[in-house]
Every structure is written in C-alpha cells, then in structure tokens.
Structure 1
Amino acid sequence: MIELGTAHTAELDASVLAAARALLDEVFEGDLTDHDWEHCLGGVHALLWEGTDLIGHASVVQRRLLHHGRALRAGYVEGVGVRADRRRCGHGATMMDTLERVIGGAYELGALSATDAGAAFYAGRGWRRWLGPTSALTPSGIVRTAQEDDGVYVLPLSVPLDLSGELTCDWRDGDLW
C-alpha cells in the first residue's frame, strides 16, 4: 500500500531526511550535490511510502523572484523523484498535486527548473515554460543565466506574468535555478 505524507523539514527526523537524500541520490544517479540537497530543505516535503520504503520525494521552498519591478513570493519545487521501479504509476502526479495545493494557498506563483526528462510532465500539469531571459541576483549584482532559459517553468497564480519578460531569482549557493 502506498501512503503519502507531508511535513515541513523541521518535522522530519534524521532517518527520514537520510532516506530522502539516499532516494534522490539514486534517482539523479549520483548527480545530486550537497547544495542540491540543501535546496530541498526548509519547506514542505511530499513523501511517498510503500511500507517502510520511501519511493518518492518532492519539496516546495520559498524563494523570491523578481519580475516587472516586483519581488514575488514563489513556491519553488525541488527534489522531485520517484524510485526507478515505481515510475510511470502516477506517483509524481500525486506528490505534485499536494505541492501545487501548498503553492496555491501560500504563494503568488510556482516555479521550478525542469530537467529535459521532466519538462513534458510539468507542461502537462499546466506549468508554463518561461520564454524570456533569466537572471540571478548575485552578490556581484544581476547576472544573466542564459543556460537556464529553456528550463524554467512557472505556475501562474495570483499575479500577472509576462512570460517573455525577464525573470530573476534570488541568490543561493550551487545551482541558481
């Protein structure tokens, strides 16, 4: 039996966090850095359990995105992954349903950086690919992140968005988007 749990990072004990990190290490085939893992923390986690085995993880954390002169409160999705032998069963959709409810209730928009493999999944859920230039607000000022231009997706909610306009994310260590 599959069970979905949700919890803030502060409510998860070390063993659950370790299981989530191990799952994401497996899902991303060793390409998950310590910074990537840190980006998953500090928000709400959706966790899919099959008995005592964690088979899915996704989280949403708060970030600030700058658009048309406004600092928008964004629910930023991180660390979405399902164990390889449990994929294509709707588990990703189950976790995203939960996170999208959190985003809709607490944020002005949703945002994420999609892998090539995940882009169609998010687009099929109503997430829109950002068409304009992307940048990051760094300690040295605003820096273009052209390599990210095709991978940023947003879930428009309560604020008007010009998808062809500029979108700037807040600073963080590791991958900016």
Structure 2
Amino acid sequence: MTELRIARTAHTADLDAATLEAARTLLFDVFDDMTEDDWEHSLGGIHALVHEDGELIGHSSVVRRHLVHGGRALRCGYVEGVGVRADHRGRGHGAAMMNALERVIRGAYDFGALGADREVARFYTRRGWQLWRGSSWALTPAGIRRTPDEDGAIYVLPTAAAPLDLDADLTCDWREGNVW
C-alpha cells in the first residue's frame, strides 16, 4: 500500500528561525549552485515542508510576483526552492509539496510559473505545467531587457483566472540575482 505524503504549509512569517535555517541548509545541500539570492527568492510566501522522523527532508515555496503578459501585469504564484534530500527522493515528497503549492496557485493567483532544468522538467509537465514557448524578458532598472538564456526553461500552470498565449512574450518583475 502506498503511503500518502502530505506537506505542511505555512507562510514565511509563521515559520520559526530553526525551521527557516533547516530549509536554507537543505536547499544549499541539494543544489550545488544555490546562492543567498536564491534563498531570498524563496521567502515571503507560502512554504510546503515535508518532515520525516522529525527532520526536514523537503522544501518548496510559492511567492507572489507580477509577470507581464498580453499587456497586463498578472499575479503570478512563482515556485521557488523545490528540493528533496537525495536519500529521500522518489518517494512522493516532491509531489506532495507541489500538490500543496498548486492548490495555493489555483486559489490565489492568475497563473503559476517556475524555472526548471531539462532534468526535472518531466516532473512538472506530468503535473500539467506547460513549457512557455514565447520569448522571456525582465523589467530591469535599465528598462525591459531580453533574457534569452531562460527560453525553454520557464513553465507555467494556467488557471481559469487568466488565458495565456504560450507563444507570446512573458516579462518578469525585477529582483536581485537570477531574475527568473
């Protein structure tokens, strides 16, 4: 019998310092290229956490961003910091966290978005996330700039709230570090 995995959700403001530090440590252990900016991007929204035997083994979060599409600034639930400890992968923890975040996205945002490498893209596409085929842009302090390196790595979760043309341009708001 398959054990149902459920992720605990909480806003950043409701997590104690020890939990936040455990999440930060987990993500820096999971990702070789994790930066302080990446960690900062994971804060300020809803976190989905998975614990096993009292230890944090999975973290993800969804934060509010504004992305411009079709001449409109849309409320986007942007997924950040999705990671499961290596020795606990393949057991449904990632799916449990995404179930929790997708519920938040569908209930509170115009659509969801995330950046994913090819190695993990299949995980998201099986869940209904769709590859953004249009050009990616960023609203920077110097104006709107093209972000061609992000093309082919942005995935969106459409909702009933806003129709999306996956072949059109998509522009993200500014933030330090990796804008997407």
- TM-score normalized by the length of structure 1: 0.97
- 8 Å CA contact 2:30–2:86 kept in 1: the answer is yes
Say which of 90, 93, 117 aligns to 2:92.
90
User: Gaps spanning 5+ residues in structure 2: where?
Assistant: none
1:51 CA displacement? 1.9
Q: Measure, in 1, the Cα distance between the counterparts of 2:149 and 2:126.
A: 23
Q: Which amino acid aligns with 1:173?
A: E
Shift of 1:52: 1.8
Q: How many residues align?
A: 176
Q: Deviations over 1:26-67 (max 9, x none)?
A: 1103x1100000000000000000122100000000000000
Provide the identity percentage: 61
Task: Give the secondary structure class of the aligned counterpart of 1:66.
Answer: strand
* CA RMSD, 1 decimal: 1.1
Gap change, CA 1:68 and 1:3, over 3 Å in 2: closer
Which of 123, 126, 136 is matched with 1:124 structurally?
126
Structure 1 residue runs of 4+, over 2 Å off? Answer: 1-4
Residue 36 (structure 2) pairs with residue 10 (structure 1): no
Deviation at residue 4 of structure 1 after TM alignment: 2.6
Give the conservation status (yes or no) of the 8 Å contact 1:43–1:59. Answer: yes
Q: Report if the CA contact (8 A) 1:73-1:108 is conserved.
A: yes
Mapping of 1:1-177 within 5 angstroms? 4-29=7-32, 31-157=33-159, 158-177=161-180
Task: Give the unaligned 5+ runs of structure 1.
Answer: none
* Residue type of the alignment partner of 1:103: I
Query: 1:172: Cα distance to partner?
Result: 0.2
Where 1:71 maps in the other structure, the secondary structure is: strand
